[in-house]
Chain A
Amino acid sequence: NAGVTQTPKFQVLKTGQSMTLQCAQDMNHNSMYWYRQDPGMGLRLIYYSASEGTTDKGEVPNGYNVSRLNKREFSLRLESAAPSQTSVYFCASSEYPGPNSPLHFGNGTRLTVT
């Protein structure tokens, strides 16, 4: 049982390049999330999908787009990467949105933008 799988694990981009981070979960969860983790800061929510077919902005959505491809998959796209987007990106899922459904995290994608 893989849980939440993120690809790639590492990526280096030049400023202005684009890329898509992939996330898939096999727990039949309804809700999926994208967070970024930066040194000295707590995890911050970029976008989330409460259920298949819906997406909403989180705390730091600028410069990102998302697609909930189906119930299993939730991708994060950087259209024109900037050095400020250097970070570790985590995908998470939960059975339902809201406070009573625990989050399950992937192992992260470490992105460097030069």
Chain B
Amino acid sequence: KQEVTQIPAALSVPEGENLVLNCSFTDSAIYNLQWFRQDPGKGLTSLLLIQSSQREQTSGRLNASLDKSSGRSTLYIAASQPGDSATYLCAVFTGTASKLTFGTGTRLQVTL
């Protein structure tokens, strides 16, 4: 059974810092990995999707990497801003179960 873990559960950084969020998964037979953002009281918004054959994806100040063999992904946020404060979730689409499995998220606070 696929399990997705995100550490840390919460993170607070001052504005301007570069930061890394971690995601690990137990079954490497994945189609893709996605990173989502969730603002308080809102639904999830897709940020980046990495196919299993890719190593990384970039969108603006966000860069996501994937090491499928070790079961790890990182989301790098450059020059963090208070508007980046949100919960970030990763999810993997596992081929064997044909389903999307979510992690519990990292709650990020960027302070002034």
Instruction: Tell whether A and B belong to one assembly.
Output: yes
Could you tell me the distance between the alpha carbons of A59 and B100 in the complex, rounded to whole angstroms? 10
Per the bound structure, the CA–CA distance linking A42 and B100 in Å amounts to 11
For the complex, is B32 an interface residue (Cβ under 8 Å from A)?
Answer: yes
Q: Is the CB of B43 within 8 A of A108?
A: yes
Q: Is A90 an interface residue (CB 8 A)?
A: yes
Q: Determine if A102 and B43 form an interchain contact, defined as CB atoms under 8 angstroms apart.
A: no
The interface size of chain A toward B, counting residues with CB under 8 Å, comes to: 21
- Is the pair A43, B41 in contact by a Cβ cutoff of 8 Å? no
Nearest A residue to B31 via CB reads: A99
Interface size of B in residues (CB-CB distance below 8 Å): 23
Most buried by A among B32, B45, B102, B103: B102
Q: Is the interface of A mostly helix, strand, loop or mixed?
A: loop
Chain A residue at minimum C-beta to C-beta distance from B90: A42
**For residue A106, which residue of chain B has the nearest CB?**
B43
Q: A107 in the interface, Cβ–Cβ < 8 Å?
A: yes
Within 8 A of A (CB), among B15-66: 31-32, 34, 41-46, 49
Partner-B contacts on A (CB < 8 A): 4, 40-45, 58-59, 90, 92, 98-100, 102-108
Question: 9 closest pairs, A vs B, by CB?
Answer: A105-B43, A42-B102, A99-B31, A99-B93, A43-B102, A105-B44, A107-B43, A102-B46, A106-B43
5 CB-based A-B contacts, threshold 8 Å: A40-B104, A43-B89, A44-B102, A105-B45, A107-B41
